[in-house]
């Protein structure tokens, strides 16, 4: 089994005149992918490889700074938003049963004009992250519309719970990740670059550097590779969306293994996590209540407690 590639051209960013026939076709291809795999590559979205490269390049400038320059921007130090900021190597365990992941990250969760950014050391960092966040936001609203339509539901069923993306009342986050070279002599038992997990929110976009490395658990129980494909956006269903659709759309487990011993390559990725508004109540859209309704913000906070450790899941880290 492979991850399908869907041509998004008819509904790409800026495109306003999609025909009813093309819309139906696009919805049908996406629906099949969300049901069978939970992951799909979109090509011709309007987000270019050049945009992705620029965000990765400026992110690397930040990650290469000495630790003392990054510490003031740590996740947990922003009063208005508990998830915004820098996450150091091994700090997070996406699979809590493993040692900390061998990755560093910077989460852009708050666009509040008053927050501090590493602008002195990395001029342009803020602007590049924020502009890319906004591009991904626009694309995500398009995908959420198609998801509603593909299930024969109202076009706004999912979008209307994502009105506050980009404010501190919504947890959507652009996360830039850096995976440094791995010294196999110093790896802890069971340690990975990114432990097995599924994402928490509604949908996620992933952009990888050419090294690739992401693997996705298929419904038949095997890991399949999700390689880098230039110019595409990898889209996956996340846990709240699986719950919302009563398990019709699949939130697939994924991971990033260590490179082979002696392979000292680095790796980068960008993940845009789309989260419903904190106050949105997620209720199974077939009305059958397979899962009890849950508030998006509460659900996200609980999930962070698992991956960052119970004591330091939120403000107090
Ligand atoms: O680095 C990647 O390719 C994926 C990262 C990921 O799955 C995550 O941060 O949730
Ligand atoms: Fe993930």
Ligand in closest contact with the CA of 175? 1
Q: How far apart, in whole angstroms, are the C-alpha atoms of residue 218 and residue 58?
A: 34
Q: Which of 63, 179, 193, 194 to mutate to test the pocket of ligand 1 (most atoms within 8 A of CB)?
A: 194
Give the pLDDT mean for 62-77.
98
What percent of the chain clears pLDDT 70, i.e. is strictly above it?
Answer: 97
End-to-end CA distance of the chain: 41
- The per-residue pLDDT for 309 is 83
Please tell me the residue having the least CA distance from ligand 1 atom 10: 199
pLDDT of 59 above 80 = yes
- Among candidates 281, 279, 297, which has minimal Cα distance to 289? 281
State the chain's mean pLDDT as an integer: 96
What residues flank ligand 1, with Cβ below 6 Å? 175, 177, 194, 199, 206, 208, 214, 254, 256, 269, 271
- Among candidates 285, 281, 305, 283, which has minimal Cα distance to 295? 281
- The per-residue pLDDT for 26 is 98
For the chain, domain boundaries? 5-276
Q: How far apart, in whole angstroms, are the C-alpha atoms of residue 239 and residue 90?
A: 24
Reported confidence tier of residue 25, pLDDT bands at 50, 70, 90:
very high
pLDDT of 241 above 50 = yes
Q: How far apart, in whole angstroms, are the C-alpha atoms of residue 167 and residue 110?
A: 7
Please give the sequence-ordered ranges of beta strands (E in DSSP) within the chain, or none if there are none. Answer: 5-7, 39-43, 85-87, 104-108, 173-179, 194-197, 203-208, 214-217, 223-226, 233-237, 254-256, 267-274, 281-282, 294-295
Please tell me the residue having the least CA distance from ligand 1 atom 8: 271
State the DSSP string of 74-117. BTT--TT-TT-EEE-TT---SSTTSSPPS-EEEEE----TTS--
219: Cα separation from own chain's centroid = 21
- The per-residue pLDDT for 127 is 98
> What are 232's two structure tokens?
């595409």
Cβ(214)–Cβ(208) below 8 Å = yes
Q: Which of 108, 175, 202, 206 to mutate to test the pocket of ligand 1 (most atoms within 8 A of CB)?
A: 206
- Among candidates 269, 262, 144, which has minimal Cα distance to 203? 144
Could you read off the pLDDT of 6-21 as tens digits, one per residue?
A: 999 999 999 999 999 9
Task: Please state which CATH number belongs to domain 5-276.
Answer: 2.60.120.330
Spatial neighbors of 167 by CB under 8 A, at least 6 apart, are 111
Residue 139, CA distances (Å) to 32, 236, 316 in order:
19, 13, 33
- Among candidates 174, 150, 154, 171, which has minimal Cα distance to 162? 171
Please determine, for the modelled complex, whether the ipTM score is greater than 0.90.
Answer: yes
- The per-residue pLDDT for 1 is 77
- Among candidates 293, 277, 280, 278, which has minimal Cα distance to 243? 293
Spatial neighbors of 232 by CB under 8 A, at least 6 apart, are 5, 41, 42, 43, 45
> What are 109's two structure tokens?
């969760």
- The per-residue pLDDT for 37 is 98
How many Å lie between the centroid of ligand 1 and the Cα of residue 194?
7
Give the pLDDT mean for 205-227.
97
Could you read off the pLDDT of 140-190 as tens digits, one per residue?
A: 999 999 999 999 999 999 999 999 999 999 999 999 999 999 998 899 999
Tracing tokens 């699979």 back to the chain, one arrives at 95
pLDDT of 292 above 70 = yes
Q: How far apart, in whole angstroms, are the C-alpha atoms of residue 47 and residue 254?
A: 23
Reported confidence tier of residue 28, pLDDT bands at 50, 70, 90:
very high
Cβ(199)–Cβ(239) below 8 Å = yes
Query: Looking at ligand 1, which atom is closest to the CA of residue 273?
Result: 10
């Amino acid at each position: 089994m492979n991850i399908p590639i869907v041509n998004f051209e008819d509904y790409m960013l800026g495109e306003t005149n999609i025909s009813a026939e093309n819309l139906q076709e696009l919805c049908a291809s996406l629906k099949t992918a969300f049901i069978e795999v939970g992951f799909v590559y979109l090509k011709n979205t309007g987000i270019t490889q050049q945009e992705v490269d620029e965000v990765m390049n400026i992110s690397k400038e930040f990650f290469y700074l000495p630790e003392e320059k990054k510490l003031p921007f740590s996740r947990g130090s922003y009063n208005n938003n508990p998830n915004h900021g820098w996450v150091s190597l091994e700090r997070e365990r996406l699979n809590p049963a493993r040692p900390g992941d061998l990755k560093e990250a910077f989460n852009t969760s708050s666009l509040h004009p008053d927050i501090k950014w590493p602008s002195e050391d990395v001029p342009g960092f803020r602007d590049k992250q924020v502009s890319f966040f906004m591009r991904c936001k626009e694309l995500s609203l398009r995908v959420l519309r198609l998801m509603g339509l593909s299930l024969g539901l109202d076009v706004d069923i999912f979008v209307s719970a994502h009105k506050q993306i980009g404010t501190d009342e919504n947890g959507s986050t652009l996360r830039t990740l850096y995976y440094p070279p791995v010294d196999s002599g110093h790896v802890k038992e069971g340690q990975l670059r990114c432990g097995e997990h599924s994402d928490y929110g509604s949908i996620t976009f992933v952009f990888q550097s050419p090294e690739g490395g992401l693997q996705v658990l298929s419904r038949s129980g095997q890991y399949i590779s999700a390689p880098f494909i230039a110019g595409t956006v990898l889209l996956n269903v996340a846990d709240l969306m699986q719950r919302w659709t009563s398990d019709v759309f699949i939130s697939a487990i994924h991971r990033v293994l260590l490179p082979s011993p002696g392979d000292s390559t680095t790796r980068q990725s960008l993940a845009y996590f789309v989260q419903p508004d904190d106050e949105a109540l997620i209720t199974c859209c077939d009305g059958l209540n397979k899962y009890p309704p849950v508030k998006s913000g509460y659900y996200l906070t609980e999930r962070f407690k698992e991956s960052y450790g119970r004591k330091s899941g939120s403000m107090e880290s």
